[in-house]
């Protein structure tokens, strides 16, 4: 399964290329990325009107909902709070929050534990796919904001990390 960062890189590469459509299939998961080419001008009653072109990346169409949430997430996986030394790790998709890899295992992280950029802090399950969420910052977990088994929304804060 592709990681969130790999999906972002695919979307960015498609956006910067001359390719209009990309199809990818792995282990029964299908991903289709398409560029939507919109006309730049339309003629209406002999007057020319310009249709605004998208400012950001073009819309992406996918078949797997968890991938759609990731595509819409863009590059915002965490939001900075008012304190510049604190980061909030947010959910990159809608799904079920799990603090450990299995019900009888210890949680990935607890309040007060240190994390690195590659540390897995939790799993968000979407459509039976287990998506490991990485801290992507180096610091110490100061708050765990989600409960095990809780449904989480896109952008919902999951952890507060004090940067080191």
pLDDT at 34: 77
> Is the pLDDT at 160 greater than 80, yes or no?
yes
The DSSP letter of residue 56 is S
Q: 28's torsion region: left (phi>0), alpha (psi -120 to 50) or beta? A: left
Most confident of 30-39, 68-77, 134-143: 134-143
Q: How many CB atoms lie within 10 A of CB 91?
A: 24
Burial code (b: 16+ CB inside 10 Å, e: under 16) for 35-47 equals beeeeeeeeeeee
**How is the chain split into domains, by residue range?**
4-73, 78-163
pLDDT band at 32 (very low <50, low <70, confident <90, very high): confident
pLDDT class of 11 with cuts at 50, 70, 90: confident
In the block, residue with structure tokens 């605004």:
52
pLDDT tens digits, one per residue of 61-93:
555 444 444 444 443 333 433 467 999 999 999
For 82-124, the pLDDT digits (tens) are: 467 999 999 999 999 999 999 999 999 999 999 999 999 999 9
**pLDDT band at residue 144 under the 50/70/90 scheme:** very high
Average pLDDT, the chain: 77
How is domain 78-163 classified at the CATH fold level? OB fold (Dihydrolipoamide Acetyltransferase, E2P) (2.40.50)
Residues contacting residue 142 through CB under 8 Å, at least 6 positions apart: 86, 111, 112, 160, 161, 162
């Amino acid at each position: 399964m592709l990681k969130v960062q790999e999906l972002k890189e695919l979307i960015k590469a498609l956006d910067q290329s001359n390719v209009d459509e990309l199809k990818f299939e792995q282990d029964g998961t299908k991903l289709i990325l398409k560029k939507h080419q919109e006309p730049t001008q339309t003629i209406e009653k002999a007057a020319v009107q310009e249709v605004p072109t998208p400012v950001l990346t073009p819309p992406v169409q996918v078949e797997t909902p968890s991938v759609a949430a990731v595509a819409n997430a863009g590059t915002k996986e965490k939001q900075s709070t008012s304190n510049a030394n604190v980061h909030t790790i947010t959910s990159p998709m809608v799904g079920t929050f799990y603090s450990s890899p299995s019900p009888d295992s210890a949680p990935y992280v607890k309040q007060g534990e240190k994390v690195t950029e590659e540390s897995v802090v939790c799993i968000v399950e979407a459509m039976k796919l287990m998506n490991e969420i990485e801290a992507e910052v180096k610091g110490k977990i100061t708050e765990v904001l989600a409960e095990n088994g809780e449904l989480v929304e896109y952008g919902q804060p999951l952890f507060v990390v004090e940067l080191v």
